[in-house]
Structure 1
Amino acid sequence: MASPEHDLAPLDPLLDRDGVRLTVDDALATVTLTNPAKRNAQSPALWRALAEAGRLLPGTVRVVLLRAEGKSFSAGLDRQAFTPEGFDGEPSFLDLARGGDKELDATIAEYQEAFTWWRRGDLVTVAAVQGHAIGAGFQLALACDLRVVADDVQFAMRETSLGLVPDLTGTHPLVGLVGYARALEICVTGRFVAAQEAVGCGLANIAVPRDQLDAAAADLASAVLAAPRDAVIETKTLLQGVHGRSYEEQRAAERQAQGRRLRDLAGLGE
């Protein structure tokens, strides 16, 4: 199979700025982090570009592949954020701390928008992760439904070690994937989670040699696309709602979803 880089080379990007490129090929969209010189370190500008990528997706898109150029998926938040001057044109962390509660909450909520749309019910999102995925990089990988990792992957949640907390929507999926005790241990120690453990504890679906990462992620995306779209959407919705329902409520949700599918297949849908 040709690599995604080869497949996507002729495509004109819908977005290409601030370290983010979005290309679309019918039902498959690819979001690429494009600043390997800085190990795809993240900034508010990158987060705004990621949020914009989500808004730009055409209705034809069913699967979104998230990947990164270079040796690292993302080394996390750009350390410039911790300097007094921060980023040009952006409030520094010190400025945010000095502001009011509403302003601080609104700013963090804006940053989180880069991480929320990956869970949309009409999409299946696949992250291809190599090298370091630290802090915000770990949380971006966690934002996706599925993760394919290279055998050199190194996940780490370093926020607590810096006196902060993971605040880019990563705590909910992390606990859901590995359980409370392991999630707490990963976060408060800041240790690395390598490929074998990531697969074993549910953080990753599969680990492959680094040179096979793009092909393996593309194969997974193709497998998802092979299933009927409405059935995939109904199944994702069922699974996403499990933790908010009792066993009996989940049984009822399954019956209702299957009824919709049967009527649709019989040509009786609305």
Structure 2
Amino acid sequence: MTTAAVDPGLLERGGVALDVDGPRATIWLSRPEALNAQTPATWEALRTIGEALSDEVRAVVVRGEGRAFSAGLDRRFFWAREVDGMPGIAGIAELPDGDADAVIAGFQAGFSWLRHPARVTVAAVQGHAIGAGFQLALACDLRVVADDVQFCMAEATLGIVPDLGGTHPLVHAVGYARAVEICLTGRRVGAEEAVACGLALRAVPVAELDAEVDALVSALLAPPPGAGAETHALLARVADGLDPAAALAAERAAQLRRLRSLAAGEG
């Protein structure tokens, strides 16, 4: 395994680890002693990883070390102006509108690249996935969960809103009504419900999570790279609201690109 060209100091500050093995990358939230609580440095590290991964990487797995995926935002940042040189909630609130918007947009960039159709992304989730942890799992294309998973969108109950890109994929995954109920009540969603409502692809015992994710990623990487990428991009555009006629046109264009590529011997 190798590591992409990302500053090791940045990864350490963000509590993130990265392994790259050919077409597969694995991102670990690596603060198990803090239940992988996230900080702005975590989001900076995630954004930098997204920028640094080579085109060879076609699948990304996101997971947490230890017994939790992520317990959400590090509590030190709640209502603090600054922690470890990074802005807390109170510090952001004091900024002019444009500056505050830019800061939050920078945080979101750590998550949004995970939905780019250039790669398929899988969240392997066990234990708590709360707040920012839930939103990080939602940023991925697919979620495989352990049977002890506890999803929770706690932001509204704390007086804030989910602002790391979680609202759009949550509504798409579970529907508007259930998303409203999950977000406003802040209740926990376990493995059985997560699968039943479309939030998770499947649930397995904790001991089987690694093998299940490995098998899924191998299957996702099985198609030729060009065909896989084109198909993923088609589905992503439909999920983003492409109308039926435009989807048909997109299919025709993608197929023509594939046929010409195959005719040219490019695979």
Shorter chain as denominator, the TM-score bin is: over 0.9
Does residue 36 of structure 2 align to residue 32 of structure 1? Answer: no
- Report the alpha carbon displacement of residue 245 of structure 1 after superposing the two structures with TM: 2.1
Q: Is the contact between residue 80 and residue 86 of structure 1 (CA under 8 Å) also seen in structure 2?
A: no
Q: Which runs of 5+ in 1 are unaligned?
A: 1-10
Question: Given residue 164 of structure 2, which amino acid in structure 1 is its aligned partner?
Answer: L
Matching residue of 1:4: none
CA RMSD of aligned residues (A): 1.5
Matching residue of 2:247: 250
Aligned residues: 259
Matching residue of 2:97: 101
Q: Is the contact between residue 72 and residue 132 of structure 1 (CA under 8 Å) also seen in structure 2?
A: yes
- Report the alpha carbon displacement of residue 268 of structure 1 after superposing the two structures with TM: 7.8
Deviations 1:218-257, CA, capped at 9 Å, x for gaps: 1111111111111111111111111422212212211221
Does residue 178 of structure 2 align to residue 178 of structure 1? Answer: no
Rounded to whole Å, the distance in 1 between the matches of 2:254 and 2:174 is 28
Rounded to whole Å, the distance in 2 between the matches of 1:246 and 1:58 is 32
Rounded to whole Å, the distance in 2 between the matches of 1:29 and 1:245 is 29
Rounded to whole Å, the distance in 2 between the matches of 1:164 and 1:79 is 14
Does residue 136 of structure 2 align to residue 144 of structure 1? Answer: no
Matching residue of 2:129: 133
Rounded to whole Å, the distance in 2 between the matches of 1:266 and 1:12 is 34
What does 1:228-239 align with in structure 2 at a 5 Å threshold? 228-239=224-235
What does 1:132-211 align with in structure 2 at a 5 Å threshold? 132-211=128-207
3-state secondary structure, aligned to 1:77: coil
Q: Aligned in 2, Cα 1:13/1:265: closer, same or farther, shift over 3 Å?
A: closer
State the TM-score, normalizing by the size of structure 1. 0.92
State the TM-score, normalizing by the size of structure 2. 0.93
Rounded to whole Å, the distance in 2 between the matches of 1:265 and 1:71 is 46
Q: What is the percent sequence identity of the aligned residues?
A: 56
Q: Is the contact between residue 81 and residue 92 of structure 2 (CA under 8 Å) also seen in structure 1?
A: no
Q: Is the contact between residue 51 and residue 117 of structure 1 (CA under 8 Å) also seen in structure 2?
A: yes
Q: Aligned in 2, Cα 1:266/1:84: closer, same or farther, shift over 3 Å?
A: closer
Does residue 68 of structure 2 align to residue 75 of structure 1? Answer: no
Q: Is the contact between residue 139 and residue 165 of structure 2 (CA under 8 Å) also seen in structure 1?
A: yes
Deviations 1:129-172, CA, capped at 9 Å, x for gaps: 00000000000001111111000000010001111111000111
Rounded to whole Å, the distance in 2 between the matches of 1:35 and 1:84 is 21
